[in-house]
Structures are given as structure tokens and as C-alpha cells.
Amino acid sequence: MPQARSTLMDPPIEELLDKVDSKFTLVALGASRARQVNAYYNSLGEGLGRVVPPQVTSVSSNPLSIAFQEVATGKAVYTRPDPDAVVEEGAEGGEAPDASGSGSLDDVAVIESPSKGDEPDAG
């Protein structure tokens, strides 16, 4: 018999936190990917094709729920830019780096298009 969960969130927050290094990264990754999913749905009729579609099949139409399901399945991942490289890029580009030495939230979400033959999971 399946074990009852004490949370209404699916996937459970504990499972999501195992995929990232902190709750702040989870928030940034989820929000960034949800914006990408929302942009995809908003651009469907335009034929632009620049935004990566959802990588999981979901019964939810909520972009944040879809984003969290992608995080749970490993389809949405993050990379942390090297602070030294960010400072060097800023110096070369003539831009002043921010005080923290970190990139924007857009640097957190890395969503890659599926390879040929790959299709979103049916789960």
C-alpha cells in the first residue's frame, strides 16, 4: 500500500531540495523556469520557437508546478557561474560587476532542448 504523504505539494519539497544546493537556488531556478514555460505558452501561436517547451508531461497547467516537476526529474538544472569569470567578463565588457560578484537569476536556470529522439517523460 502506498505511503501517505504529509504534504499537498507534488513533488514534495524535500525531493526538490535534494536536487539543489539551497532553498534559495530552488526558488530562483523554479521562478526562472516558470517564466520560460509561461513565455513558451504565450508564444505558441507566433511560431518563434526560441523558448524550450515543458520537458515533462503534467496534468497541471501552472508554470511553477511544471517547473518544479522538471526540477524533480532532473530536466531543469542550474549552474553557478565562477565569480572570477563574472568579474573578468564585466571588466572586459566595460560593465561594472555587482557587489556580490554573482550573476543574475537568468544565470541560474539552464534548460537544454532535448536531443533528437528524446521526448518529454509521460509521468
E strands, 1-123, where? Answer: 77-78, 109-110
- pLDDT exceeds cutoff 50 at 114: no
Quick check: is 106 in a domain? Answer: no
Q: What is the pTM of this model?
A: 0.62
Mean pLDDT, rounded, for 56-75: 89
Q: Is the pLDDT of residue 66 over 50?
A: yes
pLDDT at 122: 45
Question: Across 4-13, 69-78, 80-89, 113-122, which has the greatest mean pLDDT?
Answer: 69-78
Residue 92's pLDDT is: 77
Instruction: Assess if residue 91 is contained within a domain.
Output: no
Per the structure, the complete domain to which residue 20 belongs is given by: 13-80
How many angstroms separate the CA atoms of 40 and 47, rounded?
A: 10
Q: How many distinct structural domains can be found in the chain?
A: 1
Position 93 in a domain: no
pLDDT of 73-89, one tens digit each? Answer: 999 888 888 888 888 88
Residue 71 located in a structural domain: yes
Within-domain flag for 2: no
pLDDT for 20-44, tens place per residue?
999 999 999 999 999 999 988 888 8
Q: How far apart are CA 52 and CA 109, in angstroms?
A: 12
In a domain, 22, yes or no: yes
Is 69 part of any domain?
A: yes
Residue 105 is assigned to a structural domain of this protein: no
